Amino acid sequence: MEMNDKKKRQSMILYAIIALAAIFALNSILYPSIQSQTVTDVGYSTFLEMVDAGQVTQVSLDTDTSKITFTTGDGDSTKTYECNQFPNDTELVSRLESKGVTFSAEIADKSNSMWTYMLLAYGLPIGLLLLGGWLLNRQLKKSMGDDGPSMTFGGGGGMGGLGKSGAKVVAQTETGITFKDVAGQDEAKESLAEIVSFLENPGRYEEIGARLPRGALLVGPPGTGKTLLAKAVAGEAKVPFFSISGSEFVEMFVGRGAAKVRDLFKQANEKAPCIVFIDEIDTIGKRRDAGLSTNDEREQTLNQLLTEMDGFDNHKGIVVLGATNRPDTLDPALLRPGRFDRRVPVELPDLAGRNAILALHAHDVKMEGDIDLDVIARSTPGASGADLANIINEAALRAVRLGRQRVCQEDIQESVEVVIAGEKRKSTVLSEREKKVVAYHEIGHAIVAASQRGAAPVSKITIVPRTSGALGYTMQVEQDEHFLTTRKEAEDKLAVLCGGRAAEELIFHEMTTGAANDIEKATELARNMVTQYGMSDEFGMVALGQVQNRYLNSGATLTCSEGTAQKVDQAVQELVESAHKDALATLQAHQFKLHELARYLQKKETITGEEFMRIFTRDDGFAPQLPKTDEDAPQQD
């Protein structure tokens, strides 16, 4: 308390000095300029000229000082002038009367103007500064913890927060989130629950000789729930929880960020046992180098963070949680044991995790009783927790737009397509020619996929344009979740991606831009097969590329010579071309089904996987009858 009072007195003294300087500045600069703009001194001859010109509207003579005060103009254009009276001018009165000027001779009362001057020059500034001092005093009381357990230390600004960390202390009742509100991350919850248990009952761990981890680093792709897990720790722990973002340590002036780090750990040491959570820790924890593009402020902040994590007493129970999706950029000194002893992966959820996340978010939404979330979980591989939450919310919004009281299965399935491909583009109307091309393109994908053994079955085919730019798409859903991909499966996937372009070439003998996204995906997969997966006959088990950041999908860069890179390009081209030939051969073998299904899709625009498989597997015993008109008949080889 004595230290708090000392800080308060120092801040108030500094404020008083600034207040006095402001008052003198107002008197020496502001008021003279106002006064000079109010009354203008002129000569007596100028006054007579303005009277003769009819510009003067009112004249007042001060008998004590022989000063003449006169005004010109009306309303907002009124101006006031002063001049000295010329002695023995007996014609002045008659001149004023002839021009219709109102004039008077009186002794002016200076008391009002003096009081007005005192009020403007001293009273108003002192009042404003007193108000500012009262507000500052309240802020200082807040920063010293006089207003309860939930507050922001220093506020990050003002004279009371020049060196403060800006960390917010979160109480258990503020977040409203516990581990029950986090689904699909059982391993991460288990690791963090152990830290919470250590803080609640450190005695049983000390009996066996275990020490409390100094820090835990949460790493994973965006949207997987790293910040949500940290909030759940705040809801579970019975200790103070300091929450701050790494960007709040970034300052313009060198040393300010380090001062905030010192203040943060000083507060944590006073509140121990506690938890400190630094979100996006890569902002201040980037790897230091000896290059020319160094940042002194960031490096000093990192050095101070390293020092503080080594310096605090681990027996008091201070745990630092950090979250990042770029762990590869962090400094090795920050990642070593003794600072961050535990690394908690927060990966994309698997099938069971997606089911649990969907059920968790669906609990807060009114739904029909026959909702099958397992189908949605299977159709969203690679989706994060944030994506799945968005899918449920989009389904609820769609139900409201259509006037329903509850969400049905169709709403959720449509919301999956909205998140993946965007909304339907009602303004885009395809011509019959383009609709036919897109229909053959999508059926080409579907037939190649359905012809492969073990391939994911087709669940939906549509030629309705979407806001993502897609004119149509074919959706496949895996029956079971796979964690490994064989070379044959990768080659089959390449063939499916080439099926759309192969159908265009087979039927129309030309190419369109509709296969651009397929070509991009096929090239990326083929390059990964050669450079990362070791699935090339020429290079074998040699890694020729390095992934920059697997959590941000930044791709891979080649780590080979220029000559080898040319051979890599040739191998990628051979893989894609081989898959293209396989797709062409498959479509030629099912050419009549291609015509039948394309016409059916062109008519209905959207068909389900069951409809597609029923027509594709049906043995008609004869070729389907083609349209009789040359305009509608597709071109064949």
Q: Which residues are catalytic?
A: 442
Residue 486 phi/psi, 5° resolution? Answer: -80, 170
Pairing of strands 458-462, 606-608: antiparallel
Q: How many H-runs (helices) and E-runs (strands) does the chain carry?
A: 23, 16
- The C-alpha atoms of residue 381 and residue 330 are separated, in whole angstroms, by 29
Q: Using CA atoms, how far apart are residues 292 and 332, in angstroms rounded to an integer?
A: 20
Which positions ≥6 away from 611 have C-beta within 8 Å? 600
The CA radius of gyration of the chain, in Å to the nearest whole number, is: 39
User: Residue 172 corresponds to which tokens in the numbers above?
Assistant: 């258990």
Helical (H) or strand (E) element with 8: helix 2-25
Q: Say whether 187 sits in a helix, a strand or coil.
A: helix
> CA 190, 191, 193: angle at the middle one, nearest 5?
60
Are 156 and 166 contacting, i.e. CB atoms less than 8 angstroms apart?
A: yes
Which residues lie across from 217 on neighbouring strands?
Answer: 322, 343
535, 487 in Cβ contact below 8 A?
Answer: yes
Residue 52, C-beta contacts closer than 8 angstroms, at least 6 positions apart: 95, 99
Of 397, 379, 400, which is closest to residue 388 (Cα–Cα)? 379
The CA angle 457-611-428, to the nearest 5 degrees, is 95
- In sequence order, the 6+-apart residues with CB closer than 8 A to the CB of 562 are none
Three-class secondary structure of residue 36 per DSSP: helix
Q: Side by side, which strands form the sheet with 458-462?
A: 473-476, 458-462, 606-608
Residue type at 456 in one-letter notation:
A
- Stated as kind and residue range, the H or E segment containing 525 is helix 516-531
506 close to 598: Cβ distance less than 8 angstroms: no
Structure tokens at 215: 């820090």
Structural contact between residues 532 and 543, judged by C-beta atoms closer than 8 angstroms: yes
The amino acid sitting at 503 is A
Question: Inter-axis angle of helices 256-271 and 296-311, to 10 degrees?
Answer: 20
Structure tokens at 60: 């007042």
CA-wise closest residue to 166 among 175, 157, 178, 174: 157
Distance CA 272, CA 435 (A): 67
Report the distance separating Cα 173 and Cα 150, nearest Å: 10
What b-and-e string marks burial along 545-573, b requiring 16 or more CB atoms within 10 Å of the CB?
bebeeebeeeebeeebeeeeeebbeebbe
